[in-house]
Chain A
Amino acid sequence: MHDISEIGMKVKVRTTLNPCFVELSEEGSGFCDPSTFDKQNQIAKFFNKMGVIPTYSCTPYLEGNIPKRGEHMAWAESSAVLYSNSVIGAWTNKESGIGALAAALIGATSRTGVHVPEGREPQLRIEYGGDVSDEVKAGALGYAAGEVSGDRIPLVRSEGLLVRDNVIEFLAAFGTSGGAPMAAIEGVSPHVQIRSRKRLPRTNLSDRDIARVLEQFTIDRPPEAVLIGCPHLTRISARELSELRNRTSNLPVYVFTSRLTKAKLARDNTLDKLMKDGVTVVADACIMWCGLKALGYRTVVTNSVKGAHYLRNQMHIEAGLKSLKELMREPT
């Protein structure tokens, strides 16, 4: 990174940044050990020199770097890759961060995987007739669908899966348990082509499959905090939270979002409202935030299946699941 930025190489296409582990502000520095904070700032300088836009967002498709349908890209961040391919119809493989940076510097990526039309064809059909009216159920369905799909692109039929923020949770969870960079959803995904004459193998998921996923995320101790925003909380969900928060849970609530979204929430007073209710809104950072270690949380609840998976497996924090509505209604 140092060497690339020193020789003056610049990115050739619009390039934005994924989240990091800390909010890169004075406020944020208090939650992180100084050496990690300094390193993160150093990396920020290298990216800045290369001409990368410091969005620190895992939802750039909503704000900061909105893809066009049919556009070829090289993105890292699995949930954003899934959303781009499956909802927008922009084409990108799941790249590593360094692979995406290399593609940005040369302005090209390799023509493999979902960059070719044949690579985008669904290879199995998944049907689910049950309820996906909240984000946790949508996430659990995504997780179950990812497990069934393995590395294949599924064609998903689930009539309730239409609300954007639930689709985001579905795809994020699909990208956690599965390997494919895309899931075609009937009624949501553009341009689903099935050229193969062979009938697609079909899997029906039931409520039992959803329950089995949710069982993996039960907690034995009472939670110490609520973590929301994996992927980064959208403005719509943030407003919903600010309304619900009035009915309140008494646990500390941390929200993770991008700096662009945070700035917009400041403009329409949602941020004020959340802060008055005691919600900490962290920008730039992912849910695997360095503050969790500093604050010493061992058991948390979140509304994100993806978030719960990585909190458990990477951060070794017990993470349970509840929807926003459940979290804010019940005194936990």
Chain B
Amino acid sequence: MKIHSVKVVVAGRAKGKILKSDLPLSFLGGVDPETGRVMEEGHTLRGEVIAGMIFALPHSKGSTVGSYVLYSLATHGVAPLAILMKKMDMVTATGCVLGRIPLAIVTDKTWSSLRNGTSAELSADPPVLKLSE
């Protein structure tokens, strides 16, 4: 396991596999709130499910209604285990607070070492992300 420092925005623990998006995403119109499936036309993750994954997203885009979609994912039990971002934004952060989804910001270096399917463990205290090699 390799240890990376992160900046925690919404505290929590998560252990699971990484699902990484190379493109930004708007949760509204981008993710089905009842299944967690990515549905944006033309998106590289279209058809993938973010539920139960440690979802890595470079940054968000689009609608400010995205927060409610994150909350809705949580109430339907299909939220990601945690979200890792390169850049924090208020829409995603608020949605993670509402949905009790751990959210952490990673450095560019950590970002580039994230791979789909890698096992990962996020904790808030200490604020670290452990990645299997």
Contacts and interface: CB of A to CB of B under 8 A. Distances in A.
A195 to B, nearest CB: 20
B13 interface: no
Contact of B64 (A97, A310, A313): A97
B94 interface: yes
Nearest to B88: A112
B68 A96 contact: yes
Given A96-B68, A97-B65, A309-B29, A151 B90 contact: no
Contacts of B58: 150-151
B87 interface: yes
A283 B51 CA distance: 36
B103 to A, nearest CB: 13
Interface residues on A, range: 20 to 34
Interface in B50-93: 58-68, 87, 89-91
Interface string A90-102: 0001111111000
B36 interface: no
B28 interface: yes
B40 interface: yes
B94 A151 contact: no
A313 B40 CA distance: 6
Interface residues on B, range: 20 to 34
Contacts of A216: 41-42
Chief secondary structure at chain B's binding surface:
loop
Contacts of B68: 96-98
Nearest to B85: A151
Contact of A78 (B30, B39, B63, B95): B63
A179 interface: yes
A97 B71 CA distance: 12
Contacts of A146: 61
B127 interface: no
B95 to A, nearest CB: 7
B26 A94 contact: no
Contacts of B60: 179
Given A78-B62, A78-B63, A312-B41, A95 B30 contact: no
Nearest to A177: B61
A74 to B, nearest CB: 9
Contacts of A281: none
Given A146-B61, A179-B89, 8 more contacts: A76-B64, A97-B67, A99-B67, A99-B91, A176-B63, A177-B61, A216-B41, A312-B29
9 contacts: A76-B64, A76-B65, A78-B63, A96-B64, A98-B68, A179-B59, A310-B63, A314-B28, A314-B29
